[in-house]
Every structure is written in structure tokens, then in C-alpha cells.
């Protein structure tokens, strides 16, 4: 039986992914800060889902991932879906600090540990949810867009490292546009995807070992436009 750990599975996309993997007969380790939400999810698939409650901004990341891996009896796939975003009219350090701790520090610690675990095992798959916001800076959440760019670049670096090591370790960068979750904040949202549709496309993309997944698929158009848009125009919308 295949084994997956989903970081940030208590709500939104992570929760929907946990249900998908459990329904497809995977052993699923789920993490999050809210124990009651993890336990309610476990009740849907008590034989397939195991929980580990911790905060990725704390000091227990590696210990918790190691414990959950042992409970599962191994690990084939890690999905880092934990994220933090809080738009602000001004630049607020507390917002930027929490963003960095979740999207950079916690992400790097967990993904680094898991990559090295897969190096020892000789194979594995890591997927992480960055964002279309990683392509350009954003004035209302500059630390968020910067942290998501870091995630995307880090995943690409590990992809190249795995290739140089000649190991079958897959890296998948998940880049959603707007998905109907609490993370989707601000005005002017369009092409907003329901959570179940987003999760299904992510599940399929990971199954097919895609290096990058745009959620939903048509958001690749926006990605290409953002890459090409000159700063004189972008600063009016960014």
C-alpha cells in the first residue's frame, strides 16, 4: 500500500487531498495545528488515515515527520500544502514574519528532511503548493509572493539535484490561481476553482509525475502573460 504525508490537511485543498488519497486506498498521514479537525477527518477513513498534530512554525517538524513516517511504515509521497497569507495596506513585520516561518522556514526544514530520506530510500516524490503569485511581486502581500517564489525555486533546485544524483525522486511544483478556500483573499478574483476540482487536478498531476501543475489548467495562460508583462504595466495591477 502506498503511503503519503500531507502537511496542512486540516482544511481546504489539503483536507480534500487526504480524502482523495484515502479513498484510493493509500495510507495517509495528515498534519495540522487543529487536532479536532484532524480527528474529524480521520473518522471518515479510520483504517487509512493517521494524524500528527503540530505547527510548522515550531520546533517539532522533523520529529513529527519521522514519527508519522514510522506510523505509516514508510513514505512514498510528501505533499507540503501548509501556507500563510495576509494582505495588508502597509508593510507589517508580524505578517511577514509568520509568512516566512510557514512558507520558507517550515517548508525548507520538512522538504529538506524528506528529500534526504528519499535519497537513502533511493526513490520518492515531493509535491509542494507554491502559487501563481510566485511569478511576480505583489504589493498587498510582498512576503507571500516572495516566499512562494522561494518555494518554487527550491523545488526546481531539488529536481536538478535528484537528476544529478541519478535518483528517481520526483518533484512537483503546484501553482494554483484562485481556489475557493480561506487562503483566497482580496478583491478581483476570477476563474475561482472549487476545492474538489482543484484537489482532483492536483491528484492527477502528481499521479502523472508532472514537474509543474497549474490549478486549474487554464491558469497557465495567466502564468505566461505575467512572465512577459513589462513592469510599467504590471505595477498598475500588482
List active site positions.
144
120-129: string of b/e by CB count within 10 Å (b at 16+)?
Answer: eeeebbbbbb
6 pairs with which residues across the strands?
Answer: 30, 79
The partner residues of 169 in beta bridges, in order of sequence, read 124
Concatenating the DSSP letter of every residue in 95-155 gives HHHHHHIIIIIIHHHHHHHHHHHHHHHT-EEEEEE--GGGSS--TTSHHHHHHHHHHHHHH
Residue 178 CA to residue 215 CA, distance in Å, equals: 8
Cα–Cα distances (Å) from 209 to 121, 203, 212, in that order, read 18, 10, 9
Tell me the three state secondary structure of residue 214: strand
Cis peptide before 216 (omega within 30 of 0): yes
How far apart CA 125 and CA 203 sit, in angstroms, is 13
Helices (H), 73-103: 93-100
Angle at 154 between CA 66 and CA 131, to 5 degrees: 100
Amino acid at each position: 500500500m502506498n503511503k503519503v504525508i500531507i502537511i496542512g490537511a486540516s482544511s481546504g485543498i489539503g483536507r480534500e487531498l487526504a480524502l482523495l488519497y484515502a479513498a484510493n486506498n493509500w495510507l495517509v498521514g495528515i498534519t495540522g495545528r487543529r487536532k479536532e479537525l484532524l480527528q474529524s477527518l480521520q473518522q471518515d477513513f479510520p483504517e487509512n488515515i493517521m494524524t500528527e498534530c503540530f505547527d510548522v512554525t515550531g520546533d517539532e517538524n522533523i520529529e513529527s515527520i519521522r514519527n508519522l513516517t514510522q506510523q505509516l511504515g514508510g513514505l512514498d509521497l510528501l505533499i507540503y500544502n501548509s501556507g500563510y497569507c495576509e494582505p495588508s495596506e502597509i508593510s507589517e513585520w508580524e505578517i511577514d514574519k509568520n509568512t516566512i516561518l510557514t512558507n520558507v522556514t517550515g517548508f525548507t526544514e520538512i522538504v529538506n528532511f524528506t528529500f534526504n530520506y528519499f535519497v537513502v530510500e533511493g526513490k520518492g516524490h515531493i509535491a509542494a503548493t507554491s502559487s501563481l503569485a510566485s511569478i511576480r511581486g505583489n504589493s498587498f502581500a510582498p512576503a507571500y509572493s516572495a516566499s512562494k517564489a522561494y518555494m518554487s525555486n527550491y523545488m526546481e533546485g531539488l529536481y536538478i539535484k535528484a537528476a544529478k544524483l541519478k535518483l528517481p525522486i520526483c518533484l512537483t511544483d503546484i501553482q494554483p490561481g484562485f481556489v475557493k478556500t480561506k487562503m483566497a483573499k482580496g478583491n478581483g478574483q476570477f476563474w475561482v476553482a472549487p476545492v474538489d476540482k482543484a484537489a482532483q487536478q492536483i491528484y492527477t498531476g502528481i499521479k502523472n509525475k508532472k514537474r509543474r501543475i497549474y490549478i486549474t489548467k487554464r491558469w497557465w495562460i495567466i502564468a505566461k502573460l505575467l512572465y512577459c508583462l513589462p513592469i510599467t504595466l504590471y505595477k498598475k495591477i500588482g
